[in-house]
Structure 1
Amino acid sequence: MQNPFQNGDNNEGPNGLPVPPNYATVKNENGDVRIAKVGFSWTVLWFNLIVPIFRGDWYNLLCMVGIEMGVLFGIYSLPTNNMVSYAMSVASVAFNLVWAGLYNLMYFRHLFNRGFKPATDRSKELLTRVGYLPKAMR
């Protein structure tokens, strides 16, 4: 199969298939492999809390829901209905942008806490360059 990406050294996918340059591959001791994008998550921007459900990322789902519920309960304590509806709209957009910017970092950090390590030198370099890899693993 011809590699559709510019550099030919990223055949980290299943059965040696190439992965895009902004994706990293991590593996644990049992041989479980996870491939995920590094950087801004457009899927989280559009689908918000559905993404961690499909990834089976229950820890980050509960963190996201807990933070959103805490803020939204605080908004509901505002004195007037006009303020509540405006604040809910602003909070919804703000949470979508915040989670889209942070989710992939949160996902990789949780995988590292569960014993996953970069599968290849290319993934390790990418994760180090963007600051996802903890200093203890560098």
Structure 2
Amino acid sequence: MQNPFGNGGNGDNDNNNNEGPNGLPVPPNYATVVKEDNGDIRIGKVGFSYTTFLFSFLVPIFRGDWYNFLCMIGVNLGIVLGLYSIHFTSFQTFNFATSILQFALSFVWGYLYNLMYFRHLFNRGFKPATQRSKDLLEKSGYLPKPKKK
């Protein structure tokens, strides 16, 4: 199968990233992690999560990422309850403040969710599946760089 994300059809296999299921190619900004004891494979994007920015809580639900779902709900609930404790002069001002805060939180979750997802996978025993994924995760700060001796 021709790799739509890589070599441009020039036959150069140096940038081969066929690390998806059954050797399918993955985009260059995606990393593959595997749990060695049962062979469970997860593929995720490294960087800003536009899906989390647009759909917020639906992303961890569809990924089965209940830990980060509960973290996101808890932080949002704490912020909203803190907003309710402020006395606003009008309901219109409250709605404006709420909408600005929700938009800002969408950006925060967009930047943080993929990092939180990978870190939780690493805590559950997942490891980068290939050297390309390991390098990408280290370069982006998702995986701690090995300490030099």
Q: One fold, TM greater than 0.5? A: yes
Total equivalences in the alignment: 138
Q: TM-score, normalised by structure 2?
A: 0.88
What pairs with 1:109-120 in structure 2 (closer than 5 Å)?
A: 109-120=119-130
2:102 is matched with 92
Q: Secondary structure at the match of 1:2?
A: coil
Q: Percent identity?
A: 64
Partners of 1:51 and 1:136 in 2: CA distance: 31
Q: 2:18 is matched by which residue type in structure 1?
A: N
Q: Which segments of 5 or more consecutive residues in structure 1 lack a partner in the other structure?
A: none
Cα deviations across residues 49-107 of structure 1 (Å, max 9, x unaligned)? 10000000000000000000000001011112344222211111011000001100000
Q: 2:29 aligns with which of 13, 22, 30?
A: 22
Q: Secondary structure at the match of 2:6?
A: coil
Q: Secondary structure at the match of 1:123?
A: helix
Q: TM-score, normalised by structure 1?
A: 0.94
Task: Give the CA deviation at 1:136.
Answer: 6.2
What pairs with 1:1-138 in structure 2 (closer than 5 Å)?
A: 1-7=1-7, 8=13, 9-29=16-36, 30-80=38-88, 81-135=91-145
Decide which structure has greater helix share: 1
Partners of 1:135 and 1:71 in 2: CA distance: 33
Task: Give the CA deviation at 1:135.
Answer: 4.2
Q: Which segments of 5 or more consecutive residues in structure 2 lack a partner in the other structure?
A: 8-12
Structure of larger gyration radius: 2
RMSD over aligned Cα, in angstroms? Answer: 1.6
